[in-house]
Structure 1
Amino acid sequence: MITRKAIFRLSFFLFVVSCFSFQSSSFAQKYLGSRLEILSTSERNVDVESPIDLLKETWVRSELDVPNLGNSSNWVWARLDLDPVIDAGLSVEIAYATIDSLQVFMVCDGVVKSKRSAGATIPRSFREQQLGNYPSFPIPVEDCEKLTCYIRAWSGKQIILPVRVEGTRKLLTDGHIRDVFFAIYFGVVISLLIYNLFLYFSVKDNNYLQYVLFIIAVGGTQLVLNGYDRVFELISSPWLALRITHIFGILSGVFSILFVRNFLHLKAKAPLYYKIFGWLYIPYVFALLLLVSGYFNASYDMINVSALSIVLLVPVSIKVWRSGDESAAYFLVGWLVFITAVTVFVLKDFGLIPYNEATLYALPIGSAIELVVLSLALGSRINQLKKDRQIAKEKELSTSLLNEKIQREQNIELERNVTERTSELTEMNDSLAETLEDLKSAQQQLIQSEKLASLGQLTAGIAHELNNPINFVTSSAQSLKRDFADLKEVIETVAVLQPMSDQLSDELKVVIQRMKDLDIAFTLKEIDELLAGVVDGAERTAEIVSGLRIFSRMDGNQSSEANINELLTSTLIILRSNLKDEADVLTEFSENLPNINCQPGKLNQVFMNIITNAAQATMETQLIRSEREVRVRTRLVNDSGKQFIQVDITDNGVGMSEQKKSQIFNPFFTTKGVGQGTGLGLSIVKGILDDHDATIEITSEIDKGTTFLLSFPL
């Protein structure tokens, strides 16, 4: 089994050997940077387009074999003196594929003999055939004393001028070797891409998809950096060609961050680094905005600055590795190789180390090794997952066996407990059944008590109402008896008179005198008044009896047609004597109310209960007797095509809180003092109204009063 140390050593060994194999091969190049002269840019020559205008300008010889002209948005000029005899027929190659616009002038004794262009800004149809992926320009065969090659360049990235003069055969041979190298490189990249894409569809792990995106970004970056996008004519749009290097740089950074955050599980294992890498998306967003806006060089600088965050991968990989994640070790090795390759690549651009094939191809070699090692890291992740699953299965099996043993023991204990509990529940159930029967009996007794209380109230009212007319009739009968005795005496005196008697006149005088003594005129008037009182008492008695016919079926369940106004009137008659000391009852009955199908006796019980409660509520206030009142109104209402008869019973009593109002229909809930109510009155009322499909609404305000609104559907 290959260890992590072996992977680390092998990776760096392959990297070093690959680099030095280029250095020692025939592929090694000789660059002529030390013969180049660079134009000192000034306001006078910055926009010059012809080398003839620059002959008298100041030129500075380069000290490097490969001069780095920096990342400037201005055009730059360089020139190379050629030997018109030795160099004739050869080509000037600029071995740097990412210069966006390149113009090369061949000047013979101050006369421009040829001008050729290359770069991303040149449309595909106008591009000249090149010998390879690097731009090359033929040296004309001219008879002249001084032959000079002028190079004018502009790019949205840094400009490096690795210039050499070689024959066509040498350029083709070197290009072929370079093509073979990159064919192997892209073969590795494509193989890893297909392999990891297959694994993604197999295991559905997003790490593989993110790694595939990372491979595409890294491979695409090497493709455009080495000019193969133009060799294969992959990009036809000059607009996109100017930006493609920047785009792949941004994608490489973004997909690297995405892959690192998820592969290393930074959210759980290194939350601080997870946030830091999240913030690193921001500069790439700014770089993209600058790129779209046309600030190519600023975007390039932003991408390079953002890429410095790559050094954070070392400490975060070590942290995750130490937490026990084996795959983080492979991750660390891969990125160390890549960081080393990037460092070598950057140092050679700035002339700190030699610019040769070893340093030039350090980046693709390092990226290839990195991609392979990261694939091993993902493979390690799969092995680790398999190992974890195996351990989990073994633990699950052990736990299952233990649970099975515990379950058997628990089942035995449970059966014993169930048997004991069943016995207890049986006894408890019998006790509860007995208690339930007692509660039902008590409830029926309380309901009957409430009904008897209503009947007692009814009986007291009836007795009082009947007692008044009966007492009046009794007292009137005594007075009538006395008056009729006086009349009888006069009638008997008149009856014995003889019409033909000589003493008739005197006898009549005696009778008349007696009538005056008895005050017969007053007696007759008194008789009329007493008889009128007797008639009134009889009518009141008949009215009471009429009301009693309704109340006589208070417990009945049969329905009949009845008039709400009549039911309320009969109820108020019965309650008249009980309410006279409590409150005034004011009525406002709507005329011509239609009859409803109902149980009249039970509705009278409803009205009697609510009106009695309303009157009693007024007595709990500070109002004097003349100010206490209960208003009873009826009306016919049309609502959404439906008709209702509404009964409005309003008092100016103490009112009630929302808490009491919400409980007022609960059985055994009462607002009265202890011993003053059963708490079933309004509960029975609610049940009766529900039986009639009627609704009841309560509006109440403390110290203002309460309104009961009953609605009966027709």
Structure 2
Amino acid sequence: KDILNFQGSNSTFWLKITIKNNDYQNKSLIEIIQPFLNEVNFYYPLDNGYKEIKAGELYPFNQRRFNQSTNFVFDIDIKPGEEKTYFFEVNGYQQILIPIQIVDINQFYSNISTQNIWFGVYCGIIVVMFLYNIFIYFSIRDKSYIYYVLHTIFVGLTQSTLIGYSYKYFWPNSPWFGNFSAFLLTCLVSIIGTQFLIEFMYIKKRLKNAFVVLKVFQVIYILYIILSLSGYYSTTWQIILVTQTIVAITILIISIYLYREGYNEAKFYLIGWSLFMLSLIVFVTKDSLSWIPYNLFTKYSLLFGSATEVTLLSFALADKINIYKKEKEISQAATLSALQENDRIIREQNSTLERKVTERTNELVATNNNLSKTLTDLKEAQTQLVEAEKMASLGLLTAGIAHEINNPINFVTSNVGPLRRDVDLLVDAITNIESVGLSDISMDEKQQQIEDYKEEIELDFLKIEINHLLNGINEGATRTADIVKGLKIFSRLDENDLKRADINEGLQSTLTIANNLIGDKIQVIKNFGNIPAIECYPGKLNQVFLNIVSNAVFAIQEKFNNQTGGILKVTTENDEQYLTIKIQDNGTGMSEATKKKIFEPFFTTKNVGIGTGLGMSIVYNTIKKHNAEIYLNSEEGVGTEFIIQLNLVFTEPIADYQSEQQG
């Protein structure tokens, strides 16, 4: 045989070669043109036996004497006319092909130079295709390009590995990975190549069954990687070669089918893949079946085929862009035609529309006049209803306020008579003591008369009584002043000016003027925090507080029937953004239906004639006017809590609310 082919085997083979030098050259080399052999141990004769030179992929690449080549090269050191016998001990994991040639040193270096040039051209093609298409990917972001770029890189690495350049330049000191890389890269090329086909030809959408088959092949290749990691190199390589042929034929069938179905982008893909498949068949049959001879063309068939494939696949991607461009031009032409037709229709309808618009405008003007009148009437009615609610609130408090003011005034008035009497006694006492002091009697007699008089008018008791009466008058005056101050603060019901105000002060004034309404059966708990003054409409907020407090008192009285046990709790606090007011009672509480309607105008749970049903509606609108929020927590039979959340920094309410109020 010209080429020794031991197929895939784990055995070790011994070769005996007898060489006679009939040439004048005495510097000849023997070269095994197969970079994938685990061990190539060369034995050449000496005077007293044979010397062994170890080589192969089990050893670091740089240990080779002739490391300029990726093949295994040995110096046979035979003189002209001399005959010697040499031995090779060979084993490998992959296909054990042993092409052997004998060359002189000059031819050897010439062959290396030629091989490097051709492989450099191949690398140039791979790099150009990579850079060109990665640039296009970043321009259009089509996933097909990224899979093509990855496929191109791994194709180049695979071919570099099969020829031996990867082991020489990338991992020369890693024999294990040098063996494993052939399996890994071959499988990765197939996985990414099938994924490129799936994305480029829309296989999942067009051929669902083929999509499943291709995904199964991808899983099989992953299993091959795992199997090779387990050390089954020889078996794995044989089934990879068979699988590659099956996958190549499958992809060829898919490409032909899609091309026949009218998908133009399949044209270049079909040509490129057909040529690659042809090179793959040549490579596989050369290795595993020995149907065709081993020569330079068959050895590098995958190199030629893969270079042609990546080039034509790049053309296929470019053709896909051209197809997109044509489709876009057709779409734009159709859109332009539709726009022109729409423009014609619009022009034809303009006159009709103008006439109808004029008629409709006249109708709308008349309707608008009617609506304006209705709106004016509604605003007047709304103003009257709000004023009625305010007057109802004031009417509710008038009797209580009068009673609150009358009590301290009566206390002051009742103390004036006794105080006048006591003051008269003091004046008489001063006059009598002065008279005794100016008399001519002795000092002891003066002192005795004064002491007798003080006992007669009970001066010590008189001083105590005067002090008590003055304290009572002071307390009544202070209470009256507090009520007047509360009225002054609360009386801002019609203020429309935004100003800074103390919310605690407003709440206190509300509780003060509602004191008679609250009575002495309800416990009032005030937890006023150290809150800052804020911009607001204080008079309107006081109305809010009064409406909520009045409803709370009503609910407590309904539950406890004017007996003790009722609690009204008022709390203020703030954080970095909001000032919060909580008004809580333990009254009757509300049902779910009541809570949903509580802020609706004219809704009330009170009997007819008690309240207008506008109190909580005014509360809601006032809070919204402050661009604030009000929350309700209530449980029937347990009580109710209103939580008002005001902004520390006042902001105008949104337009929707303003228009709602105007409407």
If the length of structure 1 is used for normalisation, what is the TM-score? 0.61
Shift of 1:272: 4.9
State the alpha-carbon separation in 2 of the partners of residues 226 and 652 from structure 1.
93
Residue type matched to 1:162 in 2?
P
User: Pairwise mapping of residues 643-662 of structure 1 onto structure 2 (< 5 A)?
Assistant: 650-653=585-588, 655-657=589-591, 660-661=594-595
1:656, distance to aligned residue in structure 2 (A): 0.6
Tell whether the 8 Å contact from 1:330 to 1:374 is kept in structure 2 after alignment. Answer: yes
Q: Secondary structure at the match of 1:105?
A: strand
Report the Cα distance in structure 2 between the residues aligned to 1:125 and 1:634, rounded to whole angstroms: 90
Assess if the C-alpha contact under 8 Å between 1:94 and 1:161 holds in 2.
Answer: yes
The answer to whether 1:403 aligns with 2:342 is yes
Distance 1:255 1:562 in 2: 77
1:448 match: 387
CA distance 1:352–1:710, change in 2 (3 Å): closer
| CA offset digits 1:171-193 (Å, max 9, x no partner) | 938x9679758845753663464
CA contact (8 A) 1:567 1:600 kept: no
After superposition, what is the alpha-carbon deviation per residue over 1:377-398, rounded to whole angstroms, capped at 9, x for unaligned? 3343344334334333433332
1:217 to 150, 154, 163: 154
1:132-531 matches, within 5 Å, as 134-137=71-74, 139=76, 148-163=85-100, 166=102, 168=104, 172=107, 183-184=117-118, 187=121, 190-191=124-125, 193-194=127-128, 197-198=131-132, 201=135, 204=139, 207=144, 210-227=147-164, 236-239=172-175, 241-274=178-211, 276-278=213-215, 280-285=217-222, 300=237, 304=241, 307=244, 308-357=246-295, 359-409=298-348, 411-454=350-393, 457=396
Alignment of 1:517-556 (within 5 A): none
Give CA deviations for 1:40-62 in whole Å, capped at 9, x if unaligned.
Answer: xxxxxxxxxxxxxxxxxxxxxxx
| Local SS of the residue matching 1:159 | strand
Question: 1:129 aligns to what?
Answer: 66
What do you get for the CA RMSD once the two structures are aligned? 5.6
Matched residue type, 1:76? T
Q: Deviations over 1:454-482 (max 9, x none)?
A: 4555678899999xxxxxxxxxxxxxxxx
Q: Give the TM-score taking structure 2 as reference length.
A: 0.65
Distance apart, 1:376 and its partner CA = 4.0
Question: Are residue 79 (structure 1) and residue 79 (structure 2) matched?
Answer: no
Which amino acid letter does the alignment assign opposite residue 371 of structure 2?
A: L
Alpha carbons 2:548, 2:583 under 8 Å: kept: no
Once residues 100 and 428 of structure 1 are traced to their aligned partners in structure 2, the CA distance between those partners, rounded to angstroms, is 98
In the alignment, the residues of structure 1 paired with residue 193 and residue 187 of structure 2 have an alpha-carbon distance, to the nearest angstrom, of 10
Whole-angstrom CA distance in 2 between matches of 1:557 and 1:676 = 23
What is the SS of the residue equivalent to 2:590?
coil
What amino acid is the match of 1:444?
A: T
| Residues 1:565 and 1:367: Cα distance change in structure 2 (over 3 Å) | closer
Is it true that 1:664 corresponds to 2:598 in the alignment? yes
Unmatched 5+ residue regions in structure 1?
A: 1-29, 32-64, 467-539, 577-583
- Which amino acid in 2 is paired with 1:436? L
Aligned residues of 2:525 and 2:567 also touching (Cα < 8 A): no
Taking the TM superposition and a 5 Å limit, the aligned residue runs for 1:550-569 are 557=494, 568=511
Letter matched to residue 399 of structure 1: A
1:105 to 43, 58, 67: 43
Are positions 1:70 and 2:13 aligned together?
no
Alpha-carbon distance, 1:437 to partner? 0.9
Distance 1:673 1:286, change over 3 A: farther
1:109-138 per-residue CA deviation (whole Å, 9 max, x = no partner) reads: 9x7434334334444553223896543445
**Structure 2: stretches of 5+ with no match in the other structure:** 406-475, 496-500, 648-663
The SS at the match of 1:149 is strand
Q: Provide the rounded CA distance (Å) in 2 between the counterparts of 1:617 and 1:671.
A: 10
Which amino acid letter does the alignment assign opposite residue 207 of structure 2? A
2:580 and 2:146 mapped to 1: Cα distance? 74
Which residue identity does 2:107 align to in structure 1?
L
Whether 2:616 is the aligned partner of 1:678: answer no
Question: The residue matched to 2:6 in structure 1 has which SS?
Answer: coil
By how many angstroms is 1:342 displaced? Answer: 1.9
**Separation in 1, partners of 2:66, 2:541:** 109
**Aligned-pair CA distance for 1:612:** 5.2
CA distance in 2, matches of 1:314, 1:563: 88
Match for 1:101: what amino acid?
A: E
Counterpart of 1:116 in structure 2 is 53
CA distance in 2, matches of 1:688, 1:184: 88
Q: Deviations over 1:627-677 (max 9, x none)?
A: 686445678x787799x9989663532x11356346534433323467764
Aligned to 1:703: 637
Distance (Å, rounded) in 2 between the aligned partners of 1:602 and 1:401: 61
Per-residue CA deviations over 1:291-323 (Å, capped at 9, x if unaligned) read 678775576467547634333312332343244
CA contact (8 A) 2:126 2:153 kept: no
Q: Is the 8 A contact 2:39 2:91 kept in 1?
A: yes
Check the 8 A contact 1:462/1:574 in 2, yes or no: no
Q: Secondary structure at the match of 1:67?
A: strand
SS of the equivalent of 2:522 reads: strand
Q: Does the Cα contact within 8 Å between 1:108 and 1:148 map onto a contact in 2?
A: no
How far has the Cα of 1:223 moved from its partner?
Answer: 3.6
How far apart, in 2, do the equivalents of 1:599 and 1:631 lie?
Answer: 28
Q: Secondary structure at the match of 1:350?
A: helix
Tell me which residue corresponds to 1:95.
Answer: 33
**Which of the pair has more CA radius of gyration?**
1
Tell me if structure 2 keeps the 8 A contact 1:698–1:708: yes
Q: Note closer, same or farther for the CA distance 1:172–1:212 as it changes in structure 2 (3 Å cut).
A: farther
Residues in 2 aligned to 1:267 and 1:131: alpha-carbon distance in whole angstroms? 48
3-state SS of 2:86 partner:
strand
For 1:303 and 1:451, the matched residues in 2 are separated by: 93
Work out the CA distance in 1 between the residues paired with 2:645 and 2:301: 94
Q: Which amino acid is the alignment partner of residue 18 of structure 2? A: L
Aligned mates of 2:72, 2:486 — CA distance in 1 = 118
Partner SS state of residue 65, structure 2: coil
Shift of 1:604: 8.9
Q: Residue type matched to 1:79 in 2? A: L
Q: 1:315 to 1:695 in 2, by over 3 A?
A: closer
